[in-house]
A and B are shown apart, each in its own frame.
Chain A
Amino acid sequence: MAKVVIDNVRKVYPNGTEALSPSSLSIEDGEFIVLVGPSGCGKSTLLRMIAGLEDITEGTISIGERVVNALDPAERDIAMVFQNYALYPHMSVYKNMAYGLKNRGMPKADIDAAVQKAAKLLHIEEFLARKPSQLSGGQRQRVAMGRAIVRDPALFLFDEPLSNLDAKLRNQMRIEIRKLQRELGVTSIYVTHDQIEAMTMADRIAVLNTGKIEQIGTPAQIYHTPASIFVASFMGAPPMNILDGHYNGNGGLEIKDLGHVAVDHTLEVTGDIQVGIRPENVEIHQAEEPHTIPIKVDFLEELGAGRLLHTTIGNTPFIAHLDNEHQINGETVFAHLPARALHLFDASTGRRV
């Protein structure tokens, strides 16, 4: 159990590319934090620096009260679960789990107790004598988890552990990992490119893009008050609609191709603005009402639990979410964008205003 402090950590590779700009992040004891972002955003680099698999160019990382910059991975009191499981193919499941403990010089009886306990927790007792090649993907993932658990570490690191599993198993493992982590209470850092994993599993999410942490916050904060256009469009499926707009300073907001929208608070910036609205916040009416604009229905996407209405506003694709009761007749409907649901971003910096 430990608090993890990442203080102004920067990574520059020998060829000069900066994989991570100076970033800081403080993780509380027992917290489950998810690093999410597109590939190449630096999330894996950061995780690997915490693990000790990459050198830290600048800044310090501490686990517990210890600065671990100069420590070997084995000395950092961490355990890591890899995307491809990274089980030793020639060792049985038991030996895979026991290997790290054996290297620490733990007595045989203690190793056995730890392995049996972890195996029971993960329901893999019956596989202990098997080789990894005789297991399915989900079972291998459990073994990889078991190898992490037996070490009784201060910190769990997960490097996209579910991306090799099929969708159904992924959902199931997602819940299991989260339950297990709550039970064990071990601080965890989880890297993924899947925003659904991030939303569902995290206590807090750190969204990364091009080597920078864009926003840190709870899933709800990230979803409801995204700090930048990138976070707004990356988190959420279908993504947030982003439209061009202009703010003239007196509470008047013009959205391109849509017209005037009243906003109740005054903004600090004037000029070009980007306006975001989540598909589920768009109100669709069958007939014209005050403050609605006509839109053409390009097509409807059936989700079962609802439908997605696809259209374009100007040249920008635009999606609205409809619930099942909502009937659509004809090719034109009327959309209302409620002012309280609008997210406004500075067009030049992309930051929330």
Chain B
Amino acid sequence: MSSSDLQAPTSTTIATASAAAARKKPFALRQIIDHVVLIAGSLFMLVPVLMAFFTSSHTDVTVHTNGLQMTFGGHLAENYYEAMLVPGGFTKTVDGMRMLMNSFILGIGFSVGKIIISMLAAYAIVYFQFRFATLAFWAIFTTLLLPLEVRILPSYEIVQGMGLVNTYTGLIVPLIASATGTFFFRQFFKSVPNELIEAARIDGAGPVKFFIDILVPLSKTMIAAIFIIMFVFGWNQYLWPTIMTTDESFFTLVRGIKQILNVFIGAQIPEYGQAMALAIVAMVPPVLVVVIFQSWFVKGLVESDK
């Protein structure tokens, strides 16, 4: 027994001891439950990705005969080389790098376009009192309920009529109107204090200057958040690019994966290894965008006070 045990316990030691005892049991149980749930969730998410990665290191024959693989095969480099650098498809003109670039153009064009258009729309709705502003907002807002698929035929008709089939413009521009983005920016702009606008007016900032010098920097976190969502959304677009681009040199990664699996030339086995390799490649940029922009996003949230 140590000497301290002989002393009368002070009120603080009693308090901390009883608090620790009270905390200990539910803490342990909760920890176990938390971890079980988290581990199960992570496995649920990660196993298919790992499976795709391992499968991408096997030959097509192994995959065709034995199904998806959970061990590392020896053909990683050649599958990725084939997928990325050797032209494939029907016309043998497009390789993985080209598709990666197309995906980037679509993803970035889509997200940046949406951010610009929706910021400008929200700016007009919030700061300029024009006739039917509320009506315009609600009209935009109700289109949230309509997915792209509803207007896909008329949109195609218009783009085709303008001769924009098989162009990046045709691929991107019809998609960049964004009710979601407009809505989020509207809510954000409404929270910007009026005094800031008045201070800017006294400082001689007109509408354009105020937008660029004050509003855009203030919206950094909103922009980062919307960029994350929209980049991933744009990157994963499938239906619209499928309809808009018939020329293989405009194919995106997401389409390319499908295309590889579709190719049955003669009696060949589908190129499973390459398809999995492309799938892994297609996954990396969105993950990077989320990781990088999320840290900006969090940083912005912590720093900003209006």
Residues on A close to B: CB < 8 A?
51-53, 72-74, 78-80, 82-84, 86-91, 99-100, 103-104, 131, 133, 147
Contact = CB atoms under 8 A, between A and B. Distances in A.
B201 A74 contact: yes
Contacts of A74: 201-205
Given A99-B213, A103-B209, A133-B303, A86 B201 contact: no
Interface in B157-204: 193, 195-196, 198-204
B213 A80 contact: no
B198 A89 contact: no
A79 B202 contact: yes
A110 to B, nearest CB: 16
How many chain B residues sit at the interface, stated as a range, is: 20 to 34
Nearest to B305: A133
B42 interface: no
Contact of B195 (A52, A86, A100, A131): A86
B218 A104 contact: no
B199 A86 contact: yes
A103 B204 contact: yes
Give chain B's interface secondary structure class: helix
Given A86-B193, A86-B195, A147-B203, 20 more contacts: A51-B202, A52-B201, A53-B198, A73-B198, A73-B201, A73-B202, A74-B201, A78-B202, A80-B199, A82-B199, A86-B199, A87-B199, A88-B199, A90-B304, A99-B203, A103-B203, A103-B209, A131-B303, A133-B304, A147-B199
Interface string B39-57: 0000000000000000000
Contacts of A103: 203-205, 209
Contacts of B209: 103
A90 B218 contact: yes
Contacts of B198: 51, 53, 73, 80, 82, 86
A206 B199 CA distance: 25
A99 B198 CA distance: 14
Contacts of B220: 90
Contacts of A131: 303
A172 to B, nearest CB: 23
